[in-house]
Amino acid sequence: MSAVTTTAPGLADVFARCRAEGRAALVGYLPVGFPTVEASVAAMRVLVEGGCDVVEVGIPYSDPVIDGPVNQDAMVTALAGGARVDDVFAAVRAVRDAGAVPVAMTYWNPVLRRGVERFAADLAAAGGSGLITPDLVPDEAEDWLAASARHGLDRIFLVAPSSTPDRLEVVTTASSGFVYAASTMGVTGARTSVDSQARGLVEKVRAVCDLPVGIGLGVSTREQAAEIAAYADAVIVGSALVRTLGGEGELADRLEALRSLTEQLAAGVREGRA
Amino acid sequence: MDEAAEGMTPVPLERPGRFGRFGGRYVPEALVPALEQLDEARQKAAVDPEFGDELARLHATYTGRPSIVTEVPRFAAHCGGARVVLKREDLNHTGSHKINNVLAQALITKRMGKTRIIAETGAGQHGVATATAAALMGLDCTVYMGKVDTERQALNVARMRILGAEVVAVEHGSATLKDAINEALRDWVTNVGTTHYCIGTVTGPHPFPEMVRDFHAVIGEEAREQVLELTGRLPDAVLACVGGGSNAMGIFHRFVPDEGVRLVGVEAGGEGVESGRHAARFASASPGVLHGAMSYLMQDADGQTLESHSISAGLDYPSVGPEHAHLRDSGRAEYRYATDDQVMEAFSLLCRTEGIIPALESAHALAGAMEIGRELGPDGLVLVNLSGRGDKDMHTAAAWFGLVDEGTQ
């Protein structure tokens, strides 16, 4: 349990280190239970070994309204295979033990069902640093604001290109750790180009707060990672990793492909500010 | 009692978008500006005589409002002898109450400067109504429908396409109404700049539950006057089926201040609550969030949504409008369920005693009326919202009653 104590590095440490190294952080997402619970945990270790600074441990959910087909299908597979919310905490622990900073990512109802306080306690006990909440806005987050404060967890809310100045103020005021900026209007999934809106959104967020800003949605290649690393504090990659893990062939080969993609992305976040 | 009720105003919401502890706005941040824009637009419209006049004109010349009421004594003979009055929303253009809400939202869409309207549909009634309003007002229209539902409601798919709408069959998840809503939300979050999501019932994030209720409140306003005129008194009970709950909120709303009037919602009991194959949320579910609102939700121990079941696609939904959850918990309304067997009996009975073929959804309310009528006895007076007509259900009904000839299936 030693890593659970306050000495465990958190998101602030990650961003401080990345700043010192003159690069962006790499954040990788995978849902627990895809293709199996055991394989998903092995895959998260691969993300850490391949260079992810932060791993988003996803909770599969029956109705993921901001996810595109790749992540939806992975969640369907995970749930059909019997993945449970309890498995998330074991995965968080595994990421922590592998040496990266784990945060959980979940739609809100699984947290409500467990109880916001109990969920926060369990996540903190497993070594989690925070929680990304794609369908919870701060306006509805009273219980979570209190529970996260009690358990020292970071609150990562999302902003979008549609966010008005008022909304950016509301969201960033409630946020800690970093701000998750959606690069484009839409659902998760790889895109050939990341919207030019992304850079503008990062600037708008920086105008209202001092938190690091990560860009997610649509990032899949080293070149995109480098492009975003030029102006954002973190590059967030999800469905491209999920697609690679869910590809053809033996699991061992797919894990190697995942390692290779992660290494490419890790190189990308180091190139952007050259 | 009547005069006292006239003076009462509905209790204001404790905070916007909340009905007690239910409702709210559990959505991706990307949608919040659109919800704020919609809330502003509908509030402006509510006090704008131009909007009110235009909607009233459409209802009078297009929808066919006011819809009539029909007393059904031959049916009532099977309801313990209580008087039974039907509010005939089945006679509206497109065949159900859904058009009330859709015309209003289509007008709002234009007022917001948007050119495209999207909708989810289960039985197809809301999809057909939306496709109709889009044709009338020159809006692009896409309707999301679960693949399972496109198969059991193939005629409505054809109707929507003939009206010029694109119909997308959703194959993800259980491929029914809830998955159609997921897909519509994904479309909306991608195209929100040009597109309005015309939610078809009193669920979803604020302001939808309140707004859709307000657009259907005309049902109860008319029915209350009509029953008073017909019988000289208020009904003992007002009944409606409850899927998401829009026709029920529409007829209930005006009666909420009438404390002596029981408000009875009838959910889909499917194959029986003990079977697990049902949509009787209040009989089995617990509070949770789905599609942007906190309400009663059929869910497992981890908060994963459970699949619902009903013979009527329009009630086949694992959650329920948040205002119903509040009316139930506060004791103002009561909820029971009717099983598929009970529903088909009531359906058949109304067809054969009154010559009215109800939608299977509405037949749930009729099954409830048979129970409530027997509880009230001959002095009772029951108002039932006949929310839709049954043409779309002929295939299901014919199969149920064995009326399909070999080879025509």
pLDDT computed for residue B12 by the predictor: 47
Percent helix / strand / coil, chain B, rounded to 5: 50, 20, 30
List C-alpha distances in Å: B31 to A184, B121, B399. 13, 21, 43
**Cβ–Cβ < 8 Å for B70, B85:** yes
B353 touches B345 (CB < 8 A): no
Residue A175's pLDDT is: 98
Q: Is B266 exposed, middle or buried (0-12, 13-18, 19+ CB in 10 A)?
A: buried
Report CB contact under 8 Å: B27, A137: yes
Residue B77: in which H helix or E strand, if any? none
Residue ranges of B 30-69 with Cβ closer than 8 A to chain A: 30-34
Query: Cβ–Cβ of A109/B186 closer than 8 Å?
Result: no
Residue B185 touches chain A, beta carbons under 8 Å: yes
**Greater pLDDT, A190 or B166:** B166
Q: Is A87:A94 a contact under the CB 8 Å cutoff?
A: no
pLDDT digits (tens, 9 = 90+) for B221-274: 999 999 999 999 999 999 999 999 999 999 999 999 999 999 999 999 999 999
Kindly list the distances between the CA atom of residue B164 and the CA atoms of B92, B128, B159, in Å, as whole numbers in the listed order: 21, 10, 9
CB contact under 8 A, B173 and A63: yes
Query: Mapping DSSP to helix (H, G, I), strand (E, B) and coil, where does residue B319 land?
Result: strand
How does pLDDT run across A88-143, given as a tens digit for each residue? 999 999 999 999 999 999 999 999 999 999 999 999 999 999 999 999 999 999 99
Q: Which of A148, A157, A99 is nearest to A124 (CA)?
A: A148
Q: Checking DSSP bridges between strand A234-237 and strand B18-19, what pairing results, if any?
A: unpaired
Q: Which chain A residues are Cβ-neighbours of B322 within 8 angstroms?
A: none
Nearest to B302 among A110, A171, A186 (CB): A110
Q: Encode pLDDT of A24-67 as tens digits.
A: 999 999 999 999 999 999 999 999 999 999 999 999 999 999 99
Q: Distance (Å, rounded) from C-alpha B236 to C-alpha B375?
A: 11
Other residues' Cβ atoms within 10 Å of the Cβ of residue B394: 13
Residue-level pLDDT at A4? 47
Is the Cβ pair A72, B191 closer than 8 Å?
no
3-state secondary structure of B65: coil
Q: What distance in Å separates residue B298's CA from the closest CA in chain A?
A: 12
Sequence-distant (6+) residues with CB within 8 A of A124 are A4, A151, A152, A153
Provide the pLDDT for residue B10: 45
Give the residues across from B237 on adjacent strands.
B262, B382
In angstroms, the CA B244 to CA B356 distance is: 24
Q: Where are the alpha helices (DSSP H) in B93-144?
A: 98-111, 125-137
Q: What DSSP assignment string belongs to A125-189?
A: HTT--EEE-TT--GGG-HHHHHHHHHHT-EEE-EE-TT--HHHHHHHHHH--S-EEEESSSS-S-
Q: Coil, strand, or helix at residue B332?
A: coil
The rounded Cα A163 to chain-centroid distance in angstroms is 20
* Alpha carbons A17 and A263: distance in angstroms, whole number: 18
Q: Residues of B with CB below 8 A from A157's CB?
A: 29
Is residue A217 very low, low, confident or very high in pLDDT (cuts 50, 70, 90)?
A: confident
Q: What is the pLDDT of residue B128?
A: 97
d(CA A210, CA A205): 8
DSSP one-letter code for B63:
I
**Which pLDDT score, from 0 to 100, does residue A11 have?**
98
Handedness of CA B218, B220, B223, B228 (dihedral sign): negative
**Interchain contact, A84 vs B302, CB within 8 Å:** yes
DSSP, residue by residue, A17-48: HHHHTTS-EEEEEEETTSS-HHHHHHHHHHHH
Closest by CA to B91, choosing from B397, B406, B390, B376, is B390
Cα B29 from chain centroid (whole Å): 27
Give the pLDDT of residue A273.
80
List the end-to-end C-alpha distance of chain A, in Å, as a whole number: 40
Name the residue among B295, B220, B290 with its Cα closest to residue B261: B220
Chain B residues with CB-CB distance to A182 below 8 A: 29-30
Q: Return the DSSP state at B66.
A: S
Q: Quote the tokens at residue B256.
A: 């909420």
φ/ψ (deg, to 5) at A84: -125, 160
Q: How would you label B219-257 residue by residue, b for 16+ Cβ within 10 Å and e otherwise? A: bbebbbebbeeeeeebbbbbbbbbbbbbbbbbbbbbbbb
In this predicted complex, what is the ipTM?
A: 0.94
Question: Based on the number of CB atoms within 10 Å of its own CB, is B196 exposed (0-12), middle (13-18) or buried (19 or more)?
Answer: buried
Count of A-B CB contacts under 8 Å: 111
> For chain B, what is the largest distance between any 2 Cα atoms, rounded to a whole number of angstroms?
61
Angle at A198 between CA A132 and CA A172, to 5 degrees: 45
Chain A hits for B32, Cβ within 8 Å: 137, 162-163, 167
- Chain A residues within an 8 Å CB radius of B292: 135
**pLDDT for res B153:** 84
Angle between helical axes of B49-58 and B98-111 (0-180°, round to 10): 140
CA distance B322 to B19: 7
Residues in chain A whose Cβ is within 8 Å of chain B: 61-66, 68-69, 72, 76, 79, 84-85, 108-114, 134-137, 139-140, 157-164, 167, 171, 182, 185-187
- Which tokens hold the place of B350? 């109304």
Whole-number pLDDT of residue A197: 86
As averages over each run of 10 residues, the pLDDT of chain B (409 residues) reads 40 72 96 95 97 98 98 98 97 97 98 98 93 98 94 90 98 85 94 96 97 98 98 98 98 98 97 93 94 97 95 92 98 98 98 98 98 97 97 92 71
Whether residues A108 and B26 touch (CB distance < 8 A) is answered with yes
pTM for the full model? 0.94
Name the band, by pLDDT with cuts 50, 70 and 90, for residue A3: very low
Contact between A182 and A217 (Cβ < 8 Å): yes
Do residue A63 and residue B33 have CB atoms under 8 angstroms apart?
Answer: no
CB-CB: which of A61, A85, A134 is closest to B28? A134
Q: Which of B31, B186, B303 is closest, CB to CB, to A110?
A: B303
Q: What mean pLDDT value characterizes chain A? A: 94
Alpha-carbon span A249 to B356, nearest angstrom: 60
- Least CA distance to B290: which residue of chain A? A109
Residue A201 with chain B: CB contacts under 8 Å: none
